[in-house]
């Protein structure tokens, strides 16, 4: 067990600089997985080298692909081809990675192999039944712990059946797992979603040469289809910066008047930009420059300026899928904005790395913020002044809770301490150093002013 690593964030003043945040985690996972089932060499630049993604890289090695980081700093993958994954000799330890395990469950379901998945305490408490149900319909069988959680075993089926499946809840992970299983199935596999979710899998499949058909339905839903048993084409993948990781330095800049920050090469996929749209509606000065397409994804530099003028708003519930990982960051801004910010449709936050709705609520209350938490809602009331702070925040081993409160601590009157910064390494290994380079004071909690 890792020794807890508490960190303290202190009032900093304006933050300034040009930075590049780590590569997008969602895209990094998918690049490794698809590269591992091509025939030939896939070269990846900008891969996020956080613990979650490295767990996926190790899993692909265990499944028979050659995955290595070269002396050139690039990642080189020599794949097995569609249907060519090998049965791993040991359980695949996915650490804290919900994306990694759920997508890989879909990928191995289409192979005649047996694969056991394990993870850390946080991942082992997260629900998997929403993935299991459609994959069972495609021919896979499962052995799970009580409640459908990890550790679990997937018994794949080389005679995978194509499927048409309507998502009961908006989930890019479920959609992706079905599409990845469908790569091994003869004929058309279709996923119907009532609300758009992240489309990184569809974009990445196209980048690897597979046709992806997207149809708008009469009822307003969308059907995403692929034809299985086609080989993917190896290619180069340049992973853009992660907008979810960029959220934390961006929020710190917004909370400190006079800040000016350039975040270079960020993925600005419209299905990931809900936070930034919301911040602009709250009065944030955010703009985009050098817009381009990289590996099938829209990319731009994001410029954030701290003007000191932010107001509370009602966040539309239909925006939730495009900012599901950024609500902890948004809550920090709401705590400093003038007026009331109401967020609804947040039920999915309760089954993330932690119960994020509860952890944000408890943390902000400890910092002196007035708020009300519902079953799937959060209402934050603020007079526009920055919170007092002066609290030690329980993070429940959740990297986004940790980074959110460290960002808030750069603007509070009293320091904010998080109980353990270790989980930050899963997605943003150099977060502390990068923030200090911008002018933030984030350091070991034993250090005195």
Name the residue with tokens 């993935």. 131
325 classed as catalytic: yes
What's the pLDDT score for residue 168? 95
**Is 264 in contact with 69 (CB distance < 8 Å)?**
no
Tokens of 373: 């938490």
7-23+240-444 matches 25-238 in fold: yes
Write b or e for each residue in 370-399: b if 16 or more Cβ atoms lie within 10 A of its Cβ, otherwise e.
ebebeebbbbbebeeebbebebebbbbbbb
Distances (CA, A) of 380 to 110, 129, 342, 369, 430: 46, 33, 6, 8, 30
Give the torsion sign (CA, 13, 17, 20, 24).
positive
pTM of the entire predicted model: 0.93
Instruction: Report the C-alpha gap between 407 and 416 in whole angstroms.
Output: 9
* HSE (side-chain half, CA atoms, 13 Å) at 265: 14
Superfamily of domain 7-23+240-444: Enolpyruvate transferase domain (3.65.10.10)
Domain ranges of the chain: 7-23+240-444, 25-238
Mention every residue, 6+ apart, whose C-beta is less than 8 A from residue 218: none
Pick the CATH number of 25-238 from 3.30.750.200, 3.40.190.10, 3.65.10.10, 3.40.50.620: 3.65.10.10
* Predicted confidence pLDDT, tens digits, the chain (449 residues): 468 899 999 999 999 999 999 999 999 999 999 999 999 999 999 999 999 999 999 999 999 999 999 999 999 999 999 999 999 999 999 998 999 999 999 999 999 999 999 999 889 988 899 999 999 999 999 999 988 999 999 999 999 999 999 999 989 999 999 999 999 999 999 999 999 999 999 999 999 999 999 999 999 999 999 999 999 999 999 999 999 999 999 999 999 999 999 999 999 999 999 999 999 999 999 999 999 999 999 999 999 999 988 999 999 999 998 999 999 999 999 999 999 999 999 999 998 888 999 999 999 999 999 999 999 999 999 998 888 999 999 999 899 999 999 999 999 999 999 999 999 998 999 999 999 999 999 988 554 33
pLDDT of 445 reads 59
First-to-last CA distance in the chain? Answer: 31
- Catalytic residue of the set 325, 398, 413, 437: 325
């Amino acid at each position: 067990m890792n020794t807890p690593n508490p960190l303290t964030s202190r009032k900093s003043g304006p933050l300034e600089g040009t930075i590049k945040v780590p590569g997008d985690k969602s895209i990094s996972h998918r690049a490794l997985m698809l590269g591992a089932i091509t025939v030939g060499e896939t070269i990846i630049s900008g891969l996020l080298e956080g613990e979650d993604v490295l767990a996926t890289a190790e899993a692909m090695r265990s499944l028979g692909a050659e995955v290595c980081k070269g002396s050139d700093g690039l990642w080189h993958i020599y794949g097995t081809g569609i249907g060519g994954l090998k049965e791993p000799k040991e359980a695949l330890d996915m650490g804290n990675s919900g994306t990694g395990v759920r997508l890989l469950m879909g990928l191995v379901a289409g192979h005649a192999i047996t694969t056991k998945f394990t993870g850390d305490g946080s991942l082992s408490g997260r629900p998997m039944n929403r993935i299991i149900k459609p994959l069972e319909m495609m021919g896979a069988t499962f052995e799970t712990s009580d409640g459908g959680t990890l550790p679990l075993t997937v018994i794949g089926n080389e005679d995978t059946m194509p499927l048409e499946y309507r998502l009961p809840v908006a989930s890019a992970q479920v959609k992706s797992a079905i599409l990845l299983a469908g790569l091994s199935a003869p004929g058309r596999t279709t996923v119907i979603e009532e609300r758009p979710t992240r489309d990184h899998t569809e974009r990445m499949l196209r980048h690897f040469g597979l046709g992806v058909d997207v149809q708008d339905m009469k009822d307003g839903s969308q059907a995403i289809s692929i034809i299985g048993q086609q080989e993917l084409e190896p290619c180069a993948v340049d992973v853009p910066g992660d907008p979810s990781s960029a959220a934390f330095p961006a929020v710190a800049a917004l909370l400190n008047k006079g800040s000016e920050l350039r975040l270079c090469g960020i993925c600005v996929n419209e299905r990931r930009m809900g936070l930034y749209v919301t911040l602009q509606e709250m009065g944030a000065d955010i703009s985009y420059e050098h817009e381009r397409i990289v590996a099938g994804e829209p990319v731009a530099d994001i410029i954030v300026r701290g003007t000191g003028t932010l107001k509370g708003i009602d966040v539309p519930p239909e925006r939730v899928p495009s900012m599901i990982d950024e609500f902890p960051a948004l809550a920090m801004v709401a705590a400093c904005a003038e007026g009331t910010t109401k967020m609804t449709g947040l039920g999915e936050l309760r089954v993330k790395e932690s119960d994020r709705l509860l952890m944000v609520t408890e943390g902000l209350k400890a910092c002196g913020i007035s708020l009300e938490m519902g079953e799937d809602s959060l209402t934050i009331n603020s007079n526009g002044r920055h919170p007092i702070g002066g609290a030690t925040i329980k993070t429940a081993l959740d990297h986004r809770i940790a980074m959110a409160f460290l960002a808030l601590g750069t603007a509070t009157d009293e320091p904010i301490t998080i109980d353990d910064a270790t989980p930050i390494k899963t997605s943003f290994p150099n977060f502390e150093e990068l923030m200090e380079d911008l002018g933030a004071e984030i350091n070991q909690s034993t250090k005195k002013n």
